[in-house]
Amino acid sequence: MPSNPDWVKALNESGRPGSKCLELERDKSNVDVDKLATFLFTNEILQRNARILDILKADPVFDKTQNYFRGRIERIEASLARGKRLRQLTVEHNWTKEEYNAANELISEPTPYGLHASMFLITLREQGTPEQHELFLKKAEAYEYVGCYAQTELGHGSNVRGLETTATWNPDDKTFILHSPHLTSSKWWIGSLGKVANHAVVMAQLIIDGKNYGPHPFVAQIRDMKTHEPLENIHVGDIGPKFGYNTMDNGFLLFNQVKIPHANMLARFSRVDPETNKYMRPSNPSLVYGTLTWVRSNIVLQSGSVLARGVTIAIRYCSVRRQFTDRDAPEDEVRENQVINYTMVQQRLFPLLAACFALHFTGRGMIELYNTNQAMMQQKEKAGKQNAGKVSEDAGQTPRGAGPEELNPGADLLADLHSTSCALKAHASTTAGEGLEVCRRACGGHGYSSFAGLASWYADYLPTLTWEGDNYMLTQQVSRYLLKTARAVNKNFKNTGNFNAVNGDNDTTAILKTYKRRQDIGAAFDVLGNDEDLVAAYAWRVAYLTFQALQHRDEEKQSWNSLLVDFYRLSTAHAQYMVVKNFQGALSSSALQSQLPTPTKTMLHTLFRLHALHTLEKESSEFFQSAACTIRQIQLARTKTVPQLMGEIRPHAVRLVDSWKFPDWQLDSSLGRYDGDVYGDMFKRASEDNPLNNVVFDPNPNSKTLFKRDDRGNLRSKL
């Protein structure tokens, strides 16, 4: 569109401008934004991000101006160009994996190289032998082989064992034959496969002499290295548009009896002996399973900042936006009220603000636990691989396969960690995903505009609720672990006659024992007055629900299927307990105590209480039924404490979101601008940036002409 006429350019916002609103908000609060940001992320990372941001902003290929306007093909074309440049910059600046990831986060949309850089390289590295690293990994690291990880099929998602693609060992010429026997065996949803990959790691059922040895990983070339056209007897393409994630080429892939050499079966953990044609399991894959826990822990950590993006946008905009005068305001009040002053808006946004911090600290706690555990495991491994035999029947599982929760884990702590990571992954990503939509709606009508920056972020995030373990499916694995632990606690009681926690008990065992020990005395948790009691009430509820589920399953012999809804509730309760526990732990940590000034600490404590009490009130029936607290306490939380905490947070809301330090370039949101120039930005994008305003309609329904004028230039991306 030609630039706006001069009389439009001369117009201002009515009333107090948005920039002034945010300035006043920031003046009102004594939260130390920089110190809080440093505590959340460290100075090194904040500086690193700033450095990378400068590089990206200076490069026209990363210009975001047309992002919201492009159609699918144009978007993926732009994103291909960005993926290429990102690779070039990585080489040029010698970026680490963390720096590359930081750049990706700032760009905030997946590129078609995404799965190559993550799953393809990881799988080759972790599941390939040194010879296979030489053969495949080197070229993949040089982006000569561009690949993907092909597991899910059109007819099979979570259930890896049900995959249909076969890899049949052919002893005559020492090859495997990859084959897709049905339409439903088509690989589906595979990121980076649709258009960009020339190789794939393919999960296929290994068949030797008619016997099925379960899913194993194979490397297959799928496109010609010169023309990039599919090889013969391979059918591959993009699976079409999606709710979000449209800059990624999720693909399909079918094989028609395609031969691959013996060397292409990734052989670190299992292989076929080409001489004897026997299946071999040379190694214990338990360390690999840790990958899934690590991936899930990262999802938990990220969920905090994923949600914080939405909360930042919503809280800034609701501080700028005014609507109606307060019903109890004096008669002569002419100015409309800031939307953030309405308790109904606070009730929607402030618990989410608190959740951002809660999830962030929980993710951090998970990753620390994971690292401790890995170090311990590695020591154990060195000390003799005691548990090697126990898991071998499931060898060949991959980082995306079923986790150890389906196996018989050797280490008690590992099992606890895995279960926690499942419960938290499900709960954290659901909280973040659904929270983003709450933020969008809290922005009123303008939340619906793409320029709000919320809808696309929400839609792009949603797959996280499904991948790395579907959020509903995972709750079964958590419950299975909790039931098993409860059985062990009961059995231990039979043997020892007491429920006292002993040194070495993991957290789950400890809370179950505490409950059992106190079951007949009852609990008297001062949930409104004491933080430790508040956490203990959450633990009590988990234990209550666990033993209740155990009774349904073991004594009343109810079917597994009939208990799925209970299991979902149980897993959620466990996750919520872990979150309040981690939040409380972070508050009492010496790092926090030493690094943050008192008003900032106080505010974090207020957020902790809001998070814990608002959740308690929301789930009140379980807290009440388990007698973790009384109905009176719940009523007081609802009517007194929670509203009071909201009021305490109100003046600090803008500074609290500022401390997440999202650059405007990353948010790409009119409503969430740091400077509050919401309306000016919105208007510029709608009028001057909007290519639809370069065409003129013919509105006469009887005319064959659709566009009377079409001045769209060539908007295609280039490198």
**CB nearer to its own copies: pick between 386 and 560:** 560
The reply to whether 162 sits near its own copies by the rule CB under 8 A is: yes
**CB nearer to its own copies: pick between 28 and 708:** 708
Interactions with its own copies, residue window 491-550 (CB under 8 A): none
605: buried, middle or exposed (CB in 10 Å: 19+, 13-18, 0-12)?
Answer: middle
Backbone conformation region of residue 218, classed left if phi is above 0, alpha if psi is from -120 to 50, else beta = beta
**CB nearer to its own copies: pick between 51 and 560:** 560
Residue 437 C-beta: closest distance to its own copies, Å:
8
Residue 652 C-beta: closest distance to its own copies, Å:
19
Distance CA 698, CA 706 (A): 5
Q: Which one of 40-48, 227-235, 511-519, 649-657 is the stretch in contact with its own copies (CB under 8 A)?
A: 227-235
Q: Which of 448, 487, 532, 599 binds its own copies (CB under 8 A)?
A: 448
* Contact code string over 684-703 relative to its own copies, x by CB under 8 A: -xxx-xxxxx-xxxxxxxxx
Q: Which of 341, 378, 496, 500 binds its own copies (CB under 8 A)?
A: 341
The reply to whether 77 sits near its own copies by the rule CB under 8 A is: yes
The reply to whether 649 sits near its own copies by the rule CB under 8 A is: no
- Catalytic residue, chosen from 468, 532, 619, 622, is 468
- Tell me the chain's radius of gyration from C-alpha atoms: 28
Interactions with its own copies, residue window 663-682 (CB under 8 A): 679-680, 682
Q: Which one of 231-239, 269-277, 417-425, 523-531 is the stretch in contact with its own copies (CB under 8 A)?
A: 231-239
The reply to whether 565 sits near its own copies by the rule CB under 8 A is: yes
Half-sphere exposure (Cβ direction) of 302: Cα atoms closer than 13 Å: 18
Distance CA 680, CA 684 (A): 6
The reply to whether 159 sits near its own copies by the rule CB under 8 A is: yes
Q: Which of 330, 384, 445, 504 binds its own copies (CB under 8 A)?
A: 445
Interactions with its own copies, residue window 233-252 (CB under 8 A): 233, 235, 237-245, 249, 252
The reply to whether 585 sits near its own copies by the rule CB under 8 A is: no
Q: For the packed helices 598-618 and 33-41, what is the interaxial angle rounded to 10 degrees?
A: 70
The reply to whether 126 sits near its own copies by the rule CB under 8 A is: no
Q: Chain-centre distance of CA 478, in angstroms? A: 18
416: buried, middle or exposed (CB in 10 Å: 19+, 13-18, 0-12)?
Answer: buried
**CB nearer to its own copies: pick between 46 and 462:** 462
Interactions with its own copies, residue window 13-42 (CB under 8 A): 13-15
Give the three-state DSSP class for 489: helix
Interactions with its own copies, residue window 617-636 (CB under 8 A): 620-621, 624-625, 631, 634-635
Residue 157 C-beta: closest distance to its own copies, Å:
5
What type of residue sits at position 67?
A: N
- 468 is annotated as an active-site residue: yes
Residue 271 C-beta: closest distance to its own copies, Å:
27
Backbone conformation region of residue 95, classed left if phi is above 0, alpha if psi is from -120 to 50, else beta = beta
Residue 233 C-beta: closest distance to its own copies, Å:
7
200: which DSSP letter? E
Distance CA 230, CA 236 (A): 7
The reply to whether 83 sits near its own copies by the rule CB under 8 A is: yes
The reply to whether 387 sits near its own copies by the rule CB under 8 A is: no
- The single residue listed with the structure tokens 């974090």 is 604
Interactions with its own copies, residue window 36-75 (CB under 8 A): 68-74
**CB nearer to its own copies: pick between 44 and 331:** 331
Residue 549 C-beta: closest distance to its own copies, Å:
12
Q: Which of 104, 108, 180, 509 binds its own copies (CB under 8 A)?
A: 180
Q: Which of 237, 235, 123, 229 is nearest to 180 (CA)?
A: 235
CA distances from 54 to 135, 229, 623, 666 (A): 37, 37, 50, 12
Q: Which one of 302-310, 343-351, 513-521, 652-660 is the stretch in contact with its own copies (CB under 8 A)?
A: 343-351
The reply to whether 315 sits near its own copies by the rule CB under 8 A is: no
322: which DSSP letter? B
Contacts 24+ apart (CB under 8 A), 411-415: 411/373, 411/376, 411/377, 411/380, 411/387, 412/506, 413/373, 413/376, 413/506, 414/286, 414/290, 414/373, 414/377, 415/481
Distance CA 387, CA 683 (A): 64
Q: Which of 68, 87, 75 is nearest to 249 (CA)?
A: 75
Compute how many residues bind its own copies; rule: CB under 8 A. Answer: 145
Q: Which one of 28-36, 100-108, 339-347, 410-418 is the stretch in contact with its own copies (CB under 8 A)?
A: 339-347
CA distances from 597 to 30, 594, 640 (A): 10, 8, 28
Q: Which one of 168-176, 179-187, 372-380, 608-616 is the stretch in contact with its own copies (CB under 8 A)?
A: 179-187
**CB nearer to its own copies: pick between 102 and 193:** 193
**CB nearer to its own copies: pick between 598 and 705:** 705
Give the three-state DSSP class for 230: strand
